[in-house]
Amino acid sequence: AQTVTQSQPEMSVQEAETVTLSCTYDTSESDYYLFWYKQPPSRQMILVIRQEAYKQQNATENRFSVNFQKAAKSFSLKISDSQLGDAAMYFCAYRGKYTNAGKSTFGDGTTLTVKP
């Protein structure tokens, strides 16, 4: 079974600085998707960034980028130029591309605080 581990329950960053959130996962599959979701107090899960395992290039979306290390099964999220609106719970998630393709497995999240 796939597992996702986020080892940082809480992180804080100064506004305008950079922070990195860690995620490791375990799977026996070779092709899959990895995601970072943001969940603000409004509760709605918002997709931040997606990585396809067969793509070696790390995904980027504006101020958000990932460091995907397939062999190490590591998928960290870097937030540059942090803004107050980035404060939220961040979840790392795994989804198989073929086996269990409909099911996402989530970590337990990292609460990010942004200090003005």
Partner 1 sequence: DAGVTQSPTHLIKTRGQQVTLRCSPKSGHDTVSWYQQALGQGPQFIFQYYEEEERQRGNFPDRFSGHQFPNYSSELNVNALLLGDSALYLCASSSLGSGDTEAFFGQGTRLTVV
Q: Which residues bind partner 1 (CB under 8 A)?
A: 4, 33, 37, 42-47, 50, 91, 93, 95, 97, 100-109
Q: How far is CA 85 from CA 24, 40, 63, 73, 112, in A?
A: 25, 9, 12, 29, 10
Phi, psi of 32 (to 5 degrees): -165, 175
Q: How far is the CB of 58 from partner 1 (least distance, A)?
A: 18
Among 105, 39, 37, 101, which residue's Cα sits nearest to residue 66?
A: 37
The SS3 assignment for 86 reads helix
Q: How far is the CB of 107 from partner 1 (least distance, A)?
A: 5
Q: How far is the CB of 77 from partner 1 (least distance, A)?
A: 15
Instruction: Please say which residue, 80 or 104, places its beta carbon nearer to partner 1.
Output: 104
Instruction: Please say which residue, 7 or 14, places its beta carbon nearer to partner 1.
Output: 7
